[in-house]
Structure 1
Amino acid sequence: MSAATTTEPATTGRTPQLPPAARKARRRSAALGVVAWIVGLAFCLPALWMVLTSLHSEADAATNPPSLAASLTLDGYRQFFGGGGGPTPWPPLINSLSASLFSTVLVLVLALPAAYALSIRRVRKWTDVMFFFLSTKMLPVVAGLLPVYLFAKNAGMLDNIWLLVILYTSMNLPIAVWMMQSFLADVPVSIIEAAQVDGARLPTVLARVVAPVAGPGIAATALICFIFSWNELLFARVLTGVVAQTAPVYLTGFVTSQGLFLAQLCAASVIVSLPVLAAGYAAQDKLVQGLSLGAVK
């Protein structure tokens, strides 16, 4: 009996044709990719335009329509940093950094025990407590501006950086408690009980057990609170003057009765945006992990 022979299909060198369903899925994926790039560029276009305008002279920046082929210069940045004999921007930048950092640290210190009590060792009627935290964000900011101003005036705290720290802490604490409550709800209770069996008290449990496990969520909360504090304008504009002036308030000084210094304003906006962009870029992995924590059960 002759040995069985195996026949192999002849190769023609052509790429095998995909099934119609696979080709349709590939075209749909390519179309969605193109749409995503267009949407992403549309979101980035104003920022890119701001950077380009900051590199133009005031005369070129004021043209309508603006000229893309105008010569580039760093005069806007030099004048922003006081190169033309103007005021220096360092005090407002330092004030914004100080108020944002101190308020963010205070928010984390206060929100972590509150979120622990609302998620792991739940207090009675914890849902009512969560609704109370949420209800504080329903009040328009303008409605509380006059009472806060009168209190600061009577307490002698106008134009005081510590007043902004207290305000930013109180403004960001509700959203921080809400975020961290959902993050801490995913922390295994067994490791907390094991630490307590070993004799760990609550501060040790929060610092050495809960915080490392919920690190991405805490980092995401800290970044969002920092951004909210850094970008706040209304309270800082009304409650500060010269000593505690913040960076957003300093930006409004480029809109004067003599006109709009567009190139300097764009240069200042780029500089003021850099700390937030740097913080977001440095913590982007933690931010993504934190915001997606608990999304898939």
Structure 2
Amino acid sequence: MVQILNRSAAKDGASLPTPLPGITVMRHRKPGRVQHEMYTPVLCLVLQGGKQVAIGEETHLIGTGQALLVSVEVPVIASMDASEARPYLAVAVDLDMALLDEVARQMGDVQTRRSGGAIALLDRPGDRLLDCLGRIVALAGRPQEAAVLLPGLRRELHYLLLLGPLGPALRAMAQPDSHHRRIGRAVALLRSAFHEPLRVETLANVAGMSGSAFHYHFKAVTRLSPGQYQKQLRLLEARRLMRLEGFSARNAAFQVGYASPQQFTRDHAQHFGAPPRRGLNAELEQAFAAE
């Protein structure tokens, strides 16, 4: 897999030259590069180097041969263990909770276990799971074969995850009425309306929970309170607007829902370690240095 992906991802952060639906390749050469980003439901296998991922006050260290399982969209801070001689290299496959639930039902009654947070570490993926991921990676640059084989391989991947050590927890996550899936529905609403005033009652109703139960389960899954989650969404979107669409810090603040540019500046400095424009310039310099 390392040999195939080193040929496919010649530049830092590059994806496969012939993108496969739901498959992403990451390659970084610069150590200590920090990224603030949203993680979607995904299985990410680290093939070379390592990564540190922080969500709320929880930190995960993922080394070579380990996999990260993300079950709900969450904002994270990630830093890479990489070098010119040994770049960070990883492959990520999008997860489908509906498919996971469908496969689990086909497998019949198996013990479930209370699900944890949005992120879990798979320390030993197992030979069958690695073989499946290897066959997925081998489809890079072969779009005709991928169109036929990839759907079946994705189904096999979900099946093998359910067979593995995280299987019982995954079953609990995938059930349509589980706390995990309910929080996922609230997260989807929050993601689509993060620029609006936060109404926890509305989110709790979407999740089918009381206000107190919603607060408890939201933090148990995302490791953030609803207010913290919304704030990080706003900050990430504001940075995107400034970086890619040329918004000023003031206009970006209003666009994402801040009533006060001053509050946006304070939140930005607290979260990213620098005021908006200075923090953005440092990020761009870091990105150019990595290329």
Q: If the length of structure 1 is used for normalisation, what is the TM-score?
A: 0.24
Find the structure with the greater CA-based Rg: 1
Q: If the length of structure 2 is used for normalisation, what is the TM-score?
A: 0.24
